């Protein structure tokens, strides 16, 4: 992955341009991106799952931190948005992009098979949470974003976010830390 001089993935500008044309405003922010790259780099040869590819902004950050032996499986339900990620990132042999339901993809994976799960959509975050957490290998990392109020939140979503944070910070399988930065993050590791 080619990096620009400010060490952001070079494809971010093209992804942002395509997102604007599609009216897609839910891409990963840069602070979260820097954390994603750091977490991916900490897992040499790791297997990474991204739930919610979007147009590929977060995907590009993950790829920029991964080594040659790592693999990234990413799923997006919206085919038009996923097409941007495929166009910009699809040639990377470390990446498998799936257009489909994240819950179905979660159900199809073996327990303990991922070193890092980035849950950036409803499946694996607001439903199918236990199944997503079961995909973590011991010491595996789980990251969610968008925990601070967002203009794109549906009505009554704050209650679901509060319940998610409570659930993750009290799960005996996890050590978790809430980070009130970027869009609001929670990072957990499987004990």
Q: What is the mean pLDDT of the chain?
A: 90
The predicted structure's pLDDT at residue 18: 77
Contacts of 111 (CB under 8 A, 6+ apart): 134, 135
The predicted structure's pLDDT at residue 174: 97
CA 53 vs CA 67, 100, 162, 190: distances in Å: 19, 11, 24, 23
Structural domains of the chain sorted by starting position, each given as residue range(s) with its CATH number in brackets:
12-190 (3.40.50.150)
Q: Where do we find the tokens 């079961």?
A: 134
Decide: 159 and 134 in contact? Cβ < 8 Å. no
Strand 47-51: give its sheet, edge to edge.
Answer: 95-99, 71-76, 47-51, 114-119, 136-144, 185-190, 174-179
pLDDT of 14 higher than 50: yes
Phi, psi of 171 (to 5 degrees): -70, 120
pLDDT of 2 higher than 50: no
pLDDT of 160 higher than 50: yes
The predicted structure's pLDDT at residue 27: 65
pLDDT of 15 higher than 80: no
Phi, psi of 20 (to 5 degrees): -60, -40
The predicted structure's pLDDT at residue 115: 98
3-state secondary structure of 12: helix
**Structure tokens belonging to residue 138:** 């011991």
Higher pLDDT, 57 or 113: 113
Decide: 32 and 40 in contact? Cβ < 8 Å. no
Residue 175 CA to residue 168 CA, distance in Å, equals 9
Q: What is the mean pLDDT of residues 148-171?
A: 91
């Amino acid at each position: 992955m080619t990096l620009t001089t400010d060490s952001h993935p070079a494809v971010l500008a093209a992804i942002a341009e395509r997102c604007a044309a599609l009216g897609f405003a839910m891409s990963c922010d840069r602070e979260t991106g820097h954390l994603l790259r750091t977490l991916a780099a900490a897992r040499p040869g790791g297997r990474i799952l991204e739930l919610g590819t979007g147009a590929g902004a977060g995907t590009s950050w993950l790829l920029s931190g991964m080594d040659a032996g790592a693999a990234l499986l990413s799923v997006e339900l919206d085919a038009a948005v996923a097409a941007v990620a495929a166009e910009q990132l699809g040639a990377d042999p470390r990446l498998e992009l799936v257009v489909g339901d994240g819950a179905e993809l979660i159900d199809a994976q073996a327990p303990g098979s991922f070193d890092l799960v980035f849950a950036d959509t409803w499946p694996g975050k607001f439903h199918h949470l236990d199944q997503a957490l079961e995909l973590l290998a011991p010491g595996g990392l789980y990251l969610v974003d968008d925990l601070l109020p967002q203009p794109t939140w549906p009505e009554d979503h704050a209650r679901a976010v509060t319940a998610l944070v409570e659930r993750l910070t009290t799960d005996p399988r996890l050590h978790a830390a809430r980070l009130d930065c970027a869009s609001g993050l929670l990072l957990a590791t499987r004990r």
